[in-house]
Structure 1
């Protein structure tokens, strides 16, 4: 008899009725508004890292494509020069063989003086060396360029594959955000919070920095759009890139790469137009003076004005 049956029989003999009670199911409370916000911010931070990694790959791919184009423009003319040099050498060899005019014997027979003999032999030897050196030099250069282009093609293929992987990762996180935004809509009545266009006074800032600052103020109220650099949407590095592009300065579309491009400064040296970096170089904003920055925050929000200490700054940089 099983232990359970023995136990039940013992209880029955003792006059104790056994009642088996199923454990109560645990009811989980719906997440609070603050918990929802925390989840959304966490997913947004994950998404921003993916976006910035995607942006970095795109910047590297653009650079490699440009390098490949430069190599292609060099390879064509170089190949023509190589073929021309080979043709010249072939013609030289054929002439020497058929006419003897440039052969050693011809140089000896068609000499009127010892000085002329030395001249003829020297010319023949120099022509041969020149042609050989040119062909050898051109061939080495061509092989080097072709090898570099092959390497670039391999790199581009790898980076394009990585970009697809990042895009797939982004879609997964975006799917999670869509679910969270639906929960936020149920809690707050809307999934997107808009700050609206800026209607205050734009600070007067001179020079190129002033152009960048005015651009950023005009972008307030524009939605966050991943991997976008305006004018209808921005991500964080896309906004700072676009603002300084309007001022005639080129920045890469990636926060960490922008950090590598700017001059690093201390907090006490901050001026309007400088960049403020956050989240281990995962986020960047444009300083506009008065302890304020303008930035593209996250999915579901618009470009907005915020305190420079909205997060703990990683560092500060000035566009050169």
Structure 2
């Protein structure tokens, strides 16, 4: 039967490789950038397999969708035939009632449509022609129910397969995105920027101090002179021009005046991540900051994290 063949073909799609088996967590701190790149390449191959497996099953899914459309096109005719058959059965029942056989006919009509044909054997008093007409009418009702059931099963199967494939694709793409971030971190750690020739030509003493610290290592709780954390660097830079700030990003927020992005000037502070990080604006949409223990004091785009809380001027 075509419906069963299509349903079996659709079910085969569910055997696509489980994403969980394809993916494995990686730790940037334990891998080189080359190793992470190799893993990215491997995950891209996994993604291609999922997509190609889907493409290979597309014909079966297309067949299923065509069958769904065929059944949907048949339904109006089947429903009309079923209605006509039901009316004929009603007329038959009414005729039987007037002849005293209503209880016997009711025993046929009261059961599930699939059982109607079996019940006919008990109506021995019906003629052969009456039996054939009644069976044909019952078959029309049963055919409608069968086709509706086939339609519901095919639609559910097709929807489930598409959702499964989309989920696999999304999970692998998310893993690749995470690996690419790890690659960037590992590469940056392996190839720290050379700031030996970095010179500041502006007039801000705060930015000039920050430039002098480029390439210094990050240190938790450090405020110089050779290592820094984020608020230690901003504290040291503003301290170099005689402005006292606390060694804490949230406190520095309270110690600065709120300004807009358009009002930013060299030396102003940019706050991030619910006031857990702070950097020094140096102009041109960039900041100098001490990011974390995996890297050094460096220059980055101001929007590097996408979670800016606001801007402050001491």
* TM-score (normalizing by structure 2): 0.41
* TM-score (normalizing by structure 1): 0.40
